[in-house]
């Protein structure tokens, strides 16, 4: 069964996909999407040149796959990134 995603959810998925430290597993946990589904969303919602650069950058990247990550990396996001909870930007 295909899920209908809002424009806001698609934007957040693309943002999470673009972030180097956010693993595909975090996107799956939050949105229920497999890695290939995220890649398809990225392909449809980015310029072709941007998508190619992103794919080249994340292919095989350890931080995008929890099983390949170093145990020293214990967060999904950069420490300087705004806090995000349940797809909503937290207020400070």
What are the domain boundaries of the chain?
A: 1-64
- DSSP-derived secondary structure for 2-14: PPP--HHHHHHHH
Q: Where does residue 32 fall: left (phi above 0), alpha (psi -120 to 50 degrees), or beta otherwise? A: left
Angle between the N-to-C axes of helices 48-58 and 35-45, in degrees from 0 to 180, rounded to the nearest 10: 150
pTM (2 decimals)?
0.66
8-25 average pLDDT score: 90
* Range of weakest confidence among 17-21, 31-35, 50-54, 75-79: 75-79
Name beta bridge partners: 88: 85
């Amino acid at each position: 069964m295909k899920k209908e995603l809002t424009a806001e959810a698609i934007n957040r998925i693309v943002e999470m996909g673009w972030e180097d430290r956010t693993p595909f597993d975090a996107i799956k946990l939050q949105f229920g999407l497999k890695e290939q589904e995220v890649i398809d969303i990225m392909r449809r919602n980015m310029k072709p040149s941007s998508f190619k650069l992103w794919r080249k950058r994340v292919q095989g990247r350890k931080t995008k796959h929890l099983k390949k990550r170093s145990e020293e990396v214990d967060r999904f996001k950069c420490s300087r990134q705004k806090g995000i909870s349940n797809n909503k930007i937290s207020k400070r």
